[in-house]
Amino acid sequence: MIEYTDIATNADGTKRGLKKKHVQMIAIGGTIGTGLFLGAGNSIAKTGPSILIVYAILGAFFFLMMRGIGEMLYADPSQHTFVSFISKYVGASAGYFAGWSYWIGLTFVAMAELTAVSTYVKFWFPDWPTWLIQIAFLAVLTLVNLVAVNIFGETEYWFAMIKIIAIIAMIVTGIFLIMTGFKAPASGGHTVASLQNITHGFTLFPNGPAMFIAAFPMVFFAFQGMEFVGITTAETENPRHVLPRAINTIIIRILIFYLGAMTIIMSIINWHVIAKTPGQSPFVMVFELAGFKAAAAVINFVVLTSAASALNSALYSAGRHFYQLAKESNTNVMTPFKKISTHGIPANAILFTSALVLLSPIINSIPQITSSFSFITAISSNMYIIVYGLTMYAHRKFRESDDYMPDGFTMPGYRVTSPLTLLFFAAIYISLFFQADTRMSAIGAIIFTLIFGTLVHKRFSTTNNG
């Protein structure tokens, strides 16, 4: 067995340029997206204080999923994507389907985030052309991904740092307001800051069971992308040392950055007040109540950073996924994408992905772009659910293989937690049908799965018969 300790370069030429601090900060930043800063209001509006239960349940299952992925990556840190384990343990056709589905999903995420970036930049520069902003940002972040993996690591390190500082500042501000018995003005519902605002008159379904269930896919989308920390381990200097800590501390980050932030927000502002303007960021509301007049501009900067971070990560991940797809392909068309640059980067795969992301300005010109943006993001997220489910099934197959390491980084309570996690993903998909805005995207994902899945099955059946 290869000992992945101080190896500077993988067998395929990719370099281990990410340091422990990069992976740890990427792990933190990966759990904090625009869904928290902008989507918190919508989440709270759905089901009030019981949203904390939704976050806790989803956080627990995402942690279990990451332990399953972590167990496979610990056994074989040379893999660039967790999707490759689907090919290895479920079958080539399943891996092919999952690999392309995940890459398509990541590419659409990049398009959506690039659209978001231009929107946030126009907050300060409304006259700047959208297409110019998008091309400029995409060019810079593509260059960051092409130069060296440690440059990418440093960029993500500081992107994550900005998000973390914003959340901690909000939590500290909130604690101060609670301790001083701050009373909000009319805009805050005249609420006296106290933790009792969450527990007083608490009901599990303030807007009905359907709205409680509908909150699950919304929070799921906020957590989406957490698996990214696993992808980075192949390019760390000492993956088996870094991986366990990066994954185990996920639960702490969920408690602080999600449950902690939501608790503070609803302690300061009555959730009914938040529900009246679900599109407004509760973070802005808290800072404005504290007398910080520049709150909107500062949070816009944080959200811009968050979107740029998501775009940067999507390019990194999508490039390596496409590289993996090229390695597993026997067609001449994919040959150029198997190459590794002198910097140890799958440059051609990253450039091709970035070229496709340039479709974003075209998508942005479609009428009712807000709906298009939401729909694209939802379709991508639905594909993630399918890939996550296949990954956990691959983990079960891994446990039955000779690669299983009983003394490795194992998933806790496997016999119970593994089937529960698979059922959880199925339940999340069913919950998509409880709301009209997610129902259409769920149907679209089913259609894609049926059509693409059939084509893949025929392709591999013909290959095997031949």
Question: Which residues touch 247 (CB under 8 Å, ≥6 apart)?
Answer: 27, 63, 66, 67, 70, 229, 230, 409
213: nearest Cα among 458, 432, 448, 420 = 432
Looking at the predicted structure, is the pLDDT value of residue 109 above 50? yes
For the cut 50, the answer to whether the pLDDT of residue 427 exceeds it is yes
* Alpha-carbon gap, residue 44 to 222, rounded angstroms: 13
As a residue count, the chain comes to 466
Task: Label residue 389 by pLDDT band (50, 70, 90).
Answer: very high
pLDDT, tens digit, 9 for 90 and up, residues 93-102: 998 899 888 8
Taking Cα atoms as reference points, which of 115, 156, 222 lies closest to residue 23?
156
Judge contact between 15 and 340, C-beta under 8 A: no
For residues 338, 342, 347, 348, the Cα torsion angle rounded to the nearest 10 degrees is -50
Mean pLDDT comparison of 193-197, 320-324, 362-366, 432-436, highest-scoring range = 193-197
The H or E element spanning position 452 is: helix 436-465
pLDDT (average), residues 417-426: 95
* Digit-coded pLDDT (tens) for 183-228: 988 877 888 999 999 998 889 999 999 899 988 887 887 787 777 7
Give the torsion sign (CA, 310, 287, 369, 58). positive
pLDDT score, position 9: 54
Q: What is residue 411's predicted lDDT score, i.e. its pLDDT?
A: 95
pLDDT of 376 over the 70 cut: no
**Bigger pLDDT: 66 vs 379:** 66
Residue 410 DSSP one-character state: P
Alpha-carbon Rg of the chain, whole angstroms? 22
> What is the average per-residue pLDDT within 50-56?
94
E strand spans, 40-168: none
Q: Looking at the domain covering 20-459, what would its CATH class be?
A: mainly alpha
The answer to whether the CB of 104 falls within 8 A of the CB of 386 is no
Q: Which of 104-113, 203-212, 417-426 is predicted least confidently?
A: 104-113
First and final C-alpha spacing in the chain: 34
Q: DSSP 3-state assignment of 351?
A: helix
Nearest to 191 by CA among 286, 111, 262, 256: 286
* Residue 47 exposed, middle or buried by CB count within 10 Å (0-12, 13-18, 19+): buried
Q: What token pair was written down for 375?
A: 């729909």
Tell me: pLDDT of 31 over 80.
no
Measured CA to CA, the distance from residue 397 to residue 384 in angstroms comes to: 20
Q: Name the phi and psi angles at 14, rounded to 5.
A: -70, 145
> Which of residues 298 and 232 earns the better pLDDT score?
298
pLDDT in tens, 303-351: 888 888 888 888 888 888 888 888 878 888 888 888 887 777 888 999 9
What pLDDT does residue 28 have? 62
Pure H helices in 31-81? 34-37, 40-47, 51-75
Q: Which range, 23-37, 132-146, 226-240, has the best average confidence (pLDDT)? A: 132-146
Contact (Cβ atoms closer than 8 angstroms) between residue 440 and residue 103: no
Range 425-447 average pLDDT = 84
pLDDT given for residue 308 in this prediction: 85
Judge whether 106 and 324 are in contact, CB under 8 Å. no
- CB half-sphere exposure, 160, CA atoms < 13 A: 23
Q: pLDDT category, 4, cuts 50, 70, 90? A: very low
Q: Is the pLDDT of residue 236 over 90?
A: no
Average pLDDT, the chain: 82
**How many Å apart are CA 178 and CA 318, to the nearest integer?**
43
Assess contact for 62 and 420: CB atoms under 8 A. no
Instruction: Answer yes or no: is pLDDT of 382 > 50.
Output: yes
Best CA proximity match to 301, nearest among 174, 163, 168, 164 = 163
pLDDT band for position 106 (50/70/90)? confident
> According to the model, what pLDDT value does residue 116 have?
79
- pLDDT at position 234 is 58
Report the C-alpha gap between 40 and 35 in whole angstroms.
7
CA distance 313 to 309: 6
Q: 282-294: per-residue pLDDT in tens?
A: 888 888 888 888 8
DSSP per position, 224-272: TTTTHHHHHGGGBSSHHHHHHHHHHTHHHHIIIIIIIHHHHHHHHS-HH
Q: Could you tell me the two tokens for 263?
A: 């608790």
- Side-chain half-sphere CA neighbours of 72 within 13 A: 30
For 111-124, write each residue's pLDDT tens digit. Answer: 878 877 887 898 89
Res 56: pLDDT: 93
Given a cut of 80, whether residue 438 has pLDDT beyond it is no
Provide the pLDDT for residue 186. 81
* Structure-token pair, residue 109: 């995420």
Domain chopping of the chain, boundaries: 20-459
Q: For residue 246, give both structure tokens.
A: 């990066």
